[in-house]
Amino acid sequence: MERRYEHFDPLESARLARNYLTQMVDENRDFLPYWLLLPNKKPAEAAHCRVDDAELVGSWYEGLSSLMRILHDKETGKEVLAGFRRHLMRSWGEHGLRYSEPYPWTHTIHASFHEMGYILPALNRMLEEDPGDKEAERRASALVRGMRELVIERKVRSFWSGDFPETETLYEFPNDIYLADGGFDLTHHTGRGEQAIRNAVVVPALVKRWELTGDPVALDLAVGLTNYVLGPSRYFSYDMHFFGHVHSAVWFAGGVVTLGRLTGNGTYIKKGKGIYDFARSLSADFGWVPEYARWHDPREEFCETCCIKDMIVCAKALIDCGYDEYWADLDRFSRNQLMENQVRYTGYVVSDDMRPDENGVTYREIGRRMRGGFTGGSEPNSMTLTRFRSIAGCCAGTAPVALETAVNAAVTRENGAYILNLAFDLETEDLTVRSAIPDAGEISLTAKRDLTAGFRLYGWMRDPAFTVDGRAVTPEKNGKTAAYPLTAGQTLTCAFPLETEEKAETVRETAYTVRWRGPDVVGIDPPGDHVRLYQRDLRVPKALPTPDDVIFTGAANYGPTQQKQ
């Protein structure tokens, strides 16, 4: 079948993402990542900043490891991954915390508790792949215990009517940073605000550590921080609405849901679900998620790819708790805005390949090296390159985790059958999957051995008909799935009518007309400026930006006060 539309291909997206993580690094500094990328400058440049050796060496380690798993390729990029690990294993200090290194662009040397939410997942990943990794275990154990030593434990509530013992474990950090020379100096802070939730992004990693190793201190710290954020911090309202950073809130929620599932605590699951549902109410059906809730004028809000990752991971956590309705979000968010937020075309970038790297800035082949990166601020219909964090180092590390979540969720075992949940071309040990979506309503599963296989049925799969090697069959339905026994070599096909549907959707208090074919958005009106998104109709010439569309608007836009918040 001749393709008329772009198809969802997370494996190709993974290959592009690997390009960014392995190329947007400083070979003269042991593959230190570049967080700050300015593609609209003439010439374009990437520059080092403090976060490179703090958050990024953790998130890029986890991200590159995720891509290696997706692509079943442990060789490509292994030297860069080893460099990230070497950076991770440096600069550890008091209380087991990991501090920034003294580069020229680093000022006060400190550890950020928010950044430990990136460092501990990388250590977890090392231990997941090699439980005998003594260095990773030593660092992870010391970090967890060091953080536990630093929390305030709230034990008594003193009120005008008396003193009342707290019935729950409650932990909070006194500040959001810990100075290498000064400890908790309350005259120093990140200035981000929202200290309780920003610090609590370490909860998912603590829960994962407990799940992997049984570390009781990790569980204790996760429970104490969770109880504090959900209770006395007053960050969330009774219905789990909030004001502020969506990335931190939904990231935290995914950990809370998993903590509830693993401990059998239904209250945690319910509250994590409430946080997700509120963020979902602010998001588009195709996965555009605001960076902040109720902080900016909605018309000035942008979508950080990190937020899409959080929604995908949290949706999967809720699915694991039995909420199958979130499969639709996981599918649509993965195949639409996550894909559109990735940089694919870079012909508009002006590079100066003759200019040497100096003072922590690189100019070489920026267009080639930035392919596969992810934006830190998209509108529903465009990627605006003149905005700070247009291409973001943080998103480059977290988006691969979303890709891995989607790929791992594509086929699951349910009731003895292999169920296809996300339709795209895929090879597993058991099945060959082929999808004609969005060109036509046809998906097929070819068995590599005798097994039972089938499909998750979505609302857009209207009146599905099933055949095995062209012969009509009636599969066994179980809830929202339909499966049929196959022998090796047989192909089960699900076919259904698929037409283009236009739906009105209001996002950022702006009305859009969204063209859907099944779960895929193939176009959106009005079109955006700069890098237009959802140009998926291959029969229509692309409206590509030119260098004049992305003229640099001034270095002040990227000054110290505009660093990542």
Query: Is residue 511 in a domain?
Result: no
pLDDT tens digits for 87-140?
999 999 989 999 999 999 998 999 999 999 999 999 999 999 999 999 999 999
In angstroms, the Cα distances linking 542 to 371, 531, 533 are 18, 10, 10
Residue-wise burial string across 41-52, b where 16 or more C-beta atoms lie within 10 A, e elsewhere: bebbbbbbbbbb
- Beta strands 426-427 and 431-435 are antiparallel
Over residues 419-437, mean pLDDT: 98
> Which helix (H) or strand (E) covers residue 141, if one does?
helix 134-150
Residues 341, 484 within the same domain = no
Q: Could you tell me the CATH number of the domain that includes residue 44?
A: 1.50.10.10
Residue 550 is predicted with a pLDDT of 43
Residue 562 is predicted with a pLDDT of 31
Residues 253, 350 within the same domain = yes
pLDDT tens digits for 378-400?
999 998 777 667 888 899 999 99
pLDDT at 191 over 80: yes
Domain that holds residue 241: 10-412
144 within 8 A of 221, measured Cβ to Cβ: yes
Residue 544 is predicted with a pLDDT of 63
Last-in-domain residue among 472, 495, 518: 495
Residues 469, 364 within the same domain = no
pLDDT tens digits for 277-336?
999 999 999 999 999 999 888 888 999 999 999 999 999 999 999 999 999 999 999 999
Query: Is residue 529 in a domain?
Result: no
Residue type at 308 in one-letter notation: I
pLDDT tens digits for 352-380?
999 999 999 999 999 999 999 999 989 99
pLDDT tens digits for 9-45?
999 999 999 999 999 999 999 999 999 999 989 999 9
Query: Is residue 320 in a domain?
Result: yes
Residues 352, 427 within the same domain = no
15 within 8 A of 342, measured Cβ to Cβ: no
pTM for this prediction: 0.95
Residues 324, 226 within the same domain = yes
User: Please, which pLDDT band fits residue 504 given cuts at 50, 70 and 90?
Assistant: very high
The structure tokens listed for 529 are 């400026």
pLDDT tens digits for 213-229?
999 999 999 999 999 99
Query: Is residue 48 in a domain?
Result: yes
Work out the end-to-end distance of the chain between its first and last CA atoms, rounded to an integer number of angstroms.
47
pLDDT at 543 over 90: no
Over residues 427-448, mean pLDDT: 98
Provide the total of helices (H) and of strands (E) in the chain, helices listed first.
15, 30
Residue 531 is predicted with a pLDDT of 87
Over residues 503-526, mean pLDDT: 96
The structure tokens listed for 297 are 């004028």
Query: Is residue 269 in a domain?
Result: yes
Residue position matching structure tokens 């857009």: 460
Residues contacting 416, CB < 8 A, separation 6+: 452
Residue among 271, 379, 273 nearest 316 (CA): 273
Residue 557 is predicted with a pLDDT of 27
Residue 388 is predicted with a pLDDT of 65
State how far the Cα of 141 lies from the Cα of 215, in Å rounded to an integer. Answer: 8
> Which helix (H) or strand (E) covers residue 316, if one does?
helix 305-320
Our CA angle for 321, 307, 386, nearest 5°, is 170
Residues 482, 343 within the same domain = no
State how far the Cα of 283 lies from the Cα of 336, in Å rounded to an integer. Answer: 13
- pLDDT mean across residues, the chain: 93
Residues 383, 364 within the same domain = yes
State how far the Cα of 57 lies from the Cα of 549, in Å rounded to an integer. Answer: 33
Query: Is residue 530 in a domain?
Result: no
To the nearest 10 degrees (0 to 180), the angle between helices 134-150 and 113-129 is 150
- Beta strands 417-420 and 451-456 are parallel
Residues 390, 430 within the same domain = no
Query: Is residue 562 in a domain?
Result: no
Residues 375, 474 within the same domain = no
Query: Is residue 288 in a domain?
Result: yes
Q: Considering its fold, how many domains does the chain have in total?
A: 2
Residue 177 is predicted with a pLDDT of 96
Residues 214, 99 within the same domain = yes
In angstroms, the Cα distances linking 460 to 302, 330, 366 are 29, 15, 41
Residues 305, 202 within the same domain = yes
Residue 500 is predicted with a pLDDT of 96
Residue 545 is predicted with a pLDDT of 62
Residues 469, 394 within the same domain = no
Residue 353 is predicted with a pLDDT of 92
